[in-house]
Structure 1
Amino acid sequence: MMRLLVLPWILLGVSSVQAQPSIVETLELGHSIVMVTTDIPGGSNGRGSGVVVSPEYVATNCHVIANSNGANIAKFRDGYQPIGLKANWKRDVCLLKFDPLPFKPVSMRDSKTLQYEEEVFSLSFPAAAPVPQISYGNIKGIYPFEGSSIVRSNAAFLMGSSGGALFDQHFNLIGLTTFKSPGHQAFYYSLPVEWIKELMDAPEMVSMKTNDIPFWAVPLEQRPYFMQVVIPYQNEDWAALEAIASQWTNKEPTSPDAWYFLGLAEEGLKKFAKAEQDLQRAYDLNQRDYDAMLALSRVAFNQKDLATLEAIQPAISAMDQTEGEQIAQQILKLKQGS
């Protein structure tokens, strides 16, 4: 298995909002999450996760099983051998076919219906855990890609979680937990369920051997812009981030994230007036982007832009009352200084 998923263990995600389901509430749902095991050439074994998406099919990431000598799934100490395979190696979505399985398939929700800051949770088998582990978070990015959208959340996952499930609050599958960015502030990405649905109509494969590379593992300059911006952002290489984000805004002028990262770069380069303009554009395109709101409020305060702070404060307060109160204090400070 690829080593991109290695990171320090995080037991739970960052969100502690009461709406998130408890571990007990997800026990039944966990019956639809399976461990995928593989025989790797050389005698070793690999492990990943999978999701039961129909009576016959388990969805997982292709990189979990690619070029292995064989794969099966395990649940409740029982093993099941697939009888067929469907694969889109470049998208990294695979379907293992079985005689009808004794597990309930999950319901699926298309990525086009998702919103930023929705609460989500993942279930998978990280680090060879004996039962599915839960991780909480929020949707932080929705990136149009190949007719659907890649979903970024801050629901952390470990190696072994590849092919696991990302769920909304109504227990609908919204993505396969697949890859994370390198660096100290990891970004966690999931593949859309539309790709699973499309693959169900594809012909079966005759082999697990492939020379294809997943889109997220190609050389950096060939990856989508939403991936290219991460390393310069983490390294605070603002000039490099500005260059990449500028290309992104030119290619996708309606992408709020493109303008957000461009605004961050301009803020880092102390181009505050331009940063405020581009962060405002990001917010105008997506008024649920909490990170863009915070960045805009930060730059607006630097620019002593009282009108923008007053306009954005209620939206921030609705998402985080403490942060909203801090901005209210900034507004008061600017008024007292005027």
Structure 2
Amino acid sequence: MKSIVMMLCLVGATPMAYAQPDMVDTLELSHSVVMVTTDLPDGSTGRGSGVVVSPEYVATNCHVLANSNGVNVAKFRDGYHPIGLKANWKRDVCLLKFEALPFRPIPMRDSSTLQYEEEVFSLSFPAAAPVPQPSYGTIKGTYAYDGGRIVRSDASFSMGSSGGALFDQHFNLIGLTTFKSPGHHAFYYSLPVEWIRELMDTDDVLSLKTAELPFWAQPPGERPYFMQVVIPYQNQDWATLKNIASRWAAQEPGSADAWYFLGLAQEGLLEFAQAEQDLKQAYALNPRDLDAMLALSRIAFTQNDVETLQSLQAGVATLDKTQGDRISQQITRLKTTHHSSSD
């Protein structure tokens, strides 16, 4: 497969609880997720994933097929050859057109309706697996970009997963699994379905050849801020993170994530008063921002601020019971310590 690549590595509402899908559900959905194979110029075969989005179209990532000599899709040992191609190379969304496909199209859900911490799962063909493989997680961020929202989740994927499907708990397609950050604790990004819909109304392209890079593979300084913050965050380079996040918050003051990363950098620099202020701004913009709440709870605990911990505990527990229990234990510990010192 053309590798899933990113950065330096080319490769509130009341929440509703759902159980992640069982094997029967994923097996049924897997009929609509196909393997995409390409003939590469060096004579080898590339592999990626694709999703059936209409009776005649399979959506995938353009970087899976860019500059190859040919492409087809495979399912149940059968091959299907496209008769046309629609491509937006910069967005990295391509549609392979077929006469008719014997697979059920997947319904799509707009990225603007997604909520942080909502449970999701992906299906794709990592490492050329013979059948689609599931991965489970939650939405960790959505980022406005070029008329849609890039979706970050912690449902992991690897080489071969490019062009795979990210689903919500109602089995709607909510994104194409596309790129990830380097590092041990990778960030996983999917492209919005709005871009798929828009592409259906464009003209076919006549060639698989292109010199245009996808937006996420641009030089580091030209990438969206939500990508620029990742490496300094992973490296705990708080000064660089503060610089980037400050520019992000100035450009997009309505972005909760911009304020979260700015507050996180200030926490790392021990600028606790300013960190608390900016993290509260993130929380105000997005009451489901679990990461911002956890950062606020860390600062509150270090400052023996029981009142703030108590105000955060219920909201955290609603999204993550384990973290909610941890904050309850911290509250008990601080109250016990304060009581003992009073005696």
The bucket for the TM-score relative to the shorter chain is over 0.9
**Corresponding position: 1:302 with 2:294:** no
- Report the secondary structure of 2:116's partner residue: coil
- The CA RMSD measured in Å over matched residues stands at 1.3
Q: What is the one-letter code of the residue matched to 1:4?
A: V
CA contact (8 A) 2:4 2:179 kept: no
Identity of aligned residues (%): 71
Counterpart-to-counterpart distance in 2, 1:18 and 1:58:
28
Counterpart-to-counterpart distance in 2, 1:264 and 1:102:
49
Could you tell me which residue of structure 1 aligns to residue 179 of structure 2?
179
Q: CA deviation at 1:3?
A: 5.3
TM-score w.r.t. length of structure 2: 0.93
Counterpart-to-counterpart distance in 2, 1:219 and 1:152:
20
Counterpart-to-counterpart distance in 1, 2:191 and 2:4:
18
**Corresponding position: 1:139 with 2:139:** yes
Could you tell me which residue of structure 2 aligns to residue 108 of structure 1?
108
Q: CA deviation at 1:318?
A: 1.7
Counterpart-to-counterpart distance in 2, 1:269 and 1:238:
6
1:1-338 correspondence runs (5 A): 1-2=2-3, 4=5, 19-336=19-336, 337=338
Q: What is the one-letter code of the residue matched to 1:296?
A: L
Q: Can you list the C-alpha shifts for 1:97-143, whole angstroms capped at 9, x where unaligned?
A: 00111100000000011000000000001100000000000000000
Counterpart-to-counterpart distance in 2, 1:23 and 1:260:
37
**Further displaced range: 60-69 or 23-32:** 23-32
CA contact (8 A) 1:273 1:303 kept: no
Q: Can you list the C-alpha shifts for 1:269-294, whole angstroms capped at 9, x where unaligned?
A: 11111111111111111111111111
Q: What is the one-letter code of the residue matched to 1:284?
A: A
Could you tell me which residue of structure 1 aligns to residue 14 of structure 2?
none
Q: What is the one-letter code of the residue matched to 1:86?
A: K
Q: CA deviation at 1:335?
A: 3.2
Q: Can you list the C-alpha shifts for 1:151-203, whole angstroms capped at 9, x where unaligned?
A: 00000001000000000000000000000001111000000000000000000
Counterpart-to-counterpart distance in 2, 1:321 and 1:71:
46
Counterpart-to-counterpart distance in 2, 1:4 and 1:125:
16
Q: What is the one-letter code of the residue matched to 1:312?
A: L
Q: What is the one-letter code of the residue matched to 1:145?
A: Y
Q: What is the one-letter code of the residue matched to 1:291?
A: D
Could you tell me which residue of structure 2 aligns to residue 12 of structure 1?
none
**Further displaced range: 265-274 or 85-94:** 265-274
CA contact (8 A) 2:4 2:180 kept: no
- Report the secondary structure of 2:284's partner residue: helix
Q: What is the one-letter code of the residue matched to 2:83?
A: I
- Report the secondary structure of 2:55's partner residue: coil
Q: What is the one-letter code of the residue matched to 1:146?
A: D
Q: CA deviation at 1:28?
A: 1.1
TM-score w.r.t. length of structure 1: 0.94
Aligned length: 327
Counterpart-to-counterpart distance in 2, 1:3 and 1:287:
32
Q: CA deviation at 1:236?
A: 0.5
Q: What is the one-letter code of the residue matched to 2:256?
A: P
Counterpart-to-counterpart distance in 2, 1:3 and 1:144:
21
Q: Can you list the C-alpha shifts for 1:308-330, whole angstroms capped at 9, x where unaligned?
A: 21111101112222322221222
Moved over 4 A (4+): none
- Report the secondary structure of 2:123's partner residue: strand
Distance of aligned partners of 1:194 and 1:3 in 2 relative to their CA distance in 1, 3 Å threshold: closer
Distance of aligned partners of 1:186 and 1:20 in 2 relative to their CA distance in 1, 3 Å threshold: same
CA contact (8 A) 1:23 1:134 kept: no
- Report the secondary structure of 1:27's partner residue: helix
Q: CA deviation at 1:239?
A: 0.5
Q: What is the one-letter code of the residue matched to 2:5?
A: L
Counterpart-to-counterpart distance in 1, 2:168 and 2:211:
34
Q: CA deviation at 1:18?
A: 6.7
CA contact (8 A) 2:166 2:173 kept: yes
**Further displaced range: 217-226 or 21-30:** 21-30
Q: Can you list the C-alpha shifts for 1:225-254, whole angstroms capped at 9, x where unaligned?
A: 000000000000000001000011000111
Q: CA deviation at 1:48?
A: 0.2
Query: Unaligned stretches of 5+ in structure 1?
Result: 6-16
- Report the secondary structure of 2:184's partner residue: coil
Could you tell me which residue of structure 1 aligns to residue 11 of structure 2?
none
Q: Can you list the C-alpha shifts for 1:5-60, whole angstroms capped at 9, x where unaligned?
A: 8xxxxxxxxxxx97000122211110000000000102111000000000000000
Q: CA deviation at 1:332?
A: 2.8
- Report the secondary structure of 1:28's partner residue: helix
Counterpart-to-counterpart distance in 1, 2:333 and 2:170:
42
Counterpart-to-counterpart distance in 1, 2:138 and 2:70:
35
CA contact (8 A) 1:272 1:303 kept: no
- Report the secondary structure of 2:100's partner residue: coil
Q: What is the one-letter code of the residue matched to 2:315?
A: A
- Report the secondary structure of 2:31's partner residue: helix
